[in-house]
Amino acid sequence: MSLMRQLWLAVIIAAVVAFVGSLFISIWSAQTYLSQQLERKNIEIANALALSITHLDKDKAMIDLQVAALFDSRHYQSISVSDSLGRVISQRKQEKLDTDVPLWFVQLFAIDSRPGIAEISTSRDKYGAVQVISHNQFAYRALWKQSRNLLFWFSLVGVIFGMLAMLVLRSIGRSLDMVVSQAGAIGERRLMTIAEPRIKELKALARAMNGMVERIWRLFNDEAARIDELRRRVNYDHLTSLPNRDYFLAHLRAQLTATEAAQCGVVVLIRLSDLNQINLVLGHLETDNLLRAIAQVALNFSMQHEDALSGRIKAGEIAIMLPGECDQHKVAQQITEALKARLQDKWTSLTDIYQLGAIRYERTASLVDIMSRVDHALTLAEGEGPNSSHALESDEQMNVMPGEQWHNLIMHAVEAGGLKLVFYPVVNKDGVMLHQEGMVRLQAEAGKPLVLAGEFMPIVSHFNLTPMVDLEVIRLAIRQLATIPEHIAINLSAASIANWTFRTELSKLLRRHPEVCSRLWLEVSEYGAFKHFDAFKDICFALKALGCHVGVEQFGQRLSEIKKITELGLDYVKLHSSLVDGIEENTGNQEFIRRFCEVVHTVGVGVIAVGVHTDAEWKMLRVLGVDAATGPAIAGVKY
């Protein structure tokens, strides 16, 4: 039984006991008082009748007349006059009198009418005695009326008391609910503080829990800041605050090897025309400011695209990678306009600041080929004059269907069951499967190879079909879960979690299948989670309430916002594959992952590595504290 029910029960029992006790005591007091009044009245009437007879001739007719006159008032049960020997001279009795008082009340609260006795005297000796017994029906009637009045007023007071008790208990209940919700949030790996209740005991408890949460927050935030600083020191350029060459190339390599990466993308390279000459003209400090300005343009542009990254790969070169963008001409023009707006009005003393080269790549291309081609694009830009750009035509163009054809194909696939899931294992340190990661594929035509997500998901996003496709993928996962005992992880897109209708439909769908929710793992990319943080927070709470596991994938690019995961109650995060690539040789990333695991483990969040290609990487990741992994090296799976 809950504490509130126990308090309610205690209040009700106390109120009932007090009410019944007070009512019965009041009735018994009134009963005793009425009995005493009847006895006194009997004595007074007996004395008055005896005195009246004393002054009369002792004639039986006269005595009968006196007794009858008094008895006819119908207030008496019995009046009798007897002589000195006890012989009845005159007597009147009323055996029964109609009354509206219930019989059970009469039996429960009996009122004794004790007789009043008085002596009749003569001038010489005692003549006889008078005995008067008043009828108690009037006393019962008065007691019954008083009891009903008492019952009414006690009931009224009880109702008022109950309402006041309800308000007090509700206040206590709200305070208890706050404390319980805070404890529950901590149990769900969410840190939150609450307002201190007015109740002394609960106030002390809430203050202690708030203090604990604030201490964890401070420790978490301090350690997160140190980890972010370590990441920046290892992977970022100190002048421009952009990723350095190694980190940028590792990220690009991850895009080229990941099965689910975009099928195409654009790489842009911006190079200062003559760094030494610019140094001579502007000086060292102003040249640094120029580099920072170009870096800011690159950073602003990359932040507008999911999975995009900008980095400083040489002293005077800044690169931008844009997965999912396939029009290198459009990208080159947009960045050129942004550079002109930012640079040429401020550094008017320079006529030749930069050249820009842009290429489109396919996911099957090699890293060496991409860097060679973008260098060639820069060479062509240099030949076109100062502050020029060149978008290199692709040597092999993708066979791209018209947009309307793609739209019809995707709609037909959703309606006719053309979407498929393929599964890859995620195993823990002991080699036991944690869950299967479900990857969506498109069956364009029967008998033809499945189309990878990287090829058609950008089209899905372009036509705003992502919520519809994600819901269908969840339905596929639910049907699969009904046939297997294992767990399944599904990725949700940023566009879907930002869509209120999608979140509502997802909750309805999962409520219809509560038996599989505990085996369903739903994850969102770091970019989508933090871009639509409030929406992601809402969906986290909804999914956790249904029993689902919730995580963030591709984690590691926005560590400055790591403290936000303490508000979400996440079950796990998946490290970005660029942090995992070559980890056995990268001491900087080793220290970063070790500290990162220590921090997120303090709030009960698991860490999963993605894109593990070699046994050496998996061995080192286990040493660093990673809880599970997926990739080509896991269980001999070939991606």
Residue with more model confidence, 559 or 166: 166
Instruction: Count other Cβ atoms within 10 Å, centred on residue 534.
Output: 8
Could you read off the pLDDT of 277-301 as tens digits, one per residue?
888 888 889 889 999 999 999 999 9
CB 154 within 8 A of CB 23: yes
Q: How confident is the model at residue 399 (pLDDT cuts 50, 70, 90)?
A: very low
The alpha carbon of 556 is separated from its chain's Cα centroid by a whole number of angstroms, namely: 25
All structural domains of the chain with their residue ranges = 3-159, 264-391, 403-636
Residue 181: pLDDT above 80? no
pLDDT at 403: 62
Q: Is pLDDT at 321 greater than 80 in this prediction?
A: yes
Q: Which of 77, 189, 207, 178 is nearest to 131 (CA)?
A: 77
Q: Which residues contact 589 (CB under 8 A, 6 or more apart)?
A: 234, 235, 579, 583
pLDDT in tens, 355-390: 999 999 988 788 888 988 888 888 888 878 888 899
Q: Is the confidence at residue 538, as pLDDT, over 80?
A: yes
Question: What's the pLDDT at 213?
Answer: 78
Average pLDDT of the chain? 83
Of the pLDDT bands very low, low, confident and very high (cuts 50, 70, 90), residue 524 is very high
Fold for domain 3-159? Beta-Lactamase (3.30.450)
Please check whether residue 422 is in contact with residue 443, taking contact to mean a CB–CB distance below 8 angstroms.
no
DSSP assignment of 111-167 equals ---PPEEEEEE-SSSEEEEEEEEE-THHHHHHHHHHHHHHHHHHHHHHHHHHHHHHH
Q: Which range is most confident: 61-75, 124-138, 351-365, 452-466?
A: 351-365
- pLDDT tens figures, 102-122: 877 777 777 777 888 888 887
Residue 483 has pLDDT above 70, yes or no: yes
Q: Quick one: pLDDT at residue 616?
A: 92
Looking at the predicted structure, is the pLDDT value of residue 304 above 90? no
Looking at residue 97, its pLDDT comes to: 57
pLDDT of residue 273: 84
**Class of the domain covering 403-636:** alpha beta
CA distance linking residue 136 with residue 489, whole number of Å: 86
- Strands 126-134 and 520-525, sheet pairing: unpaired
Give the mean pLDDT of 119-142. 78
Instruction: Inform me whether the pLDDT recorded for 473 exceeds 90.
Output: yes
Tens digits of per-residue pLDDT, 593-635? Answer: 998 898 888 888 899 999 898 999 999 999 999 999 998 888 6
Residue 201 pLDDT > 80: no
Class (C level, CATH) for 264-391: alpha beta
Predicted pLDDT of residue 427: 93
- Give dist(CA 179, CA 201) in Å, integer: 11
What confidence tens digit (pLDDT) does each residue in 245-278 have?
A: 988 998 888 888 777 777 888 999 999 988 888 8
**310 pLDDT above the threshold of 90:** yes
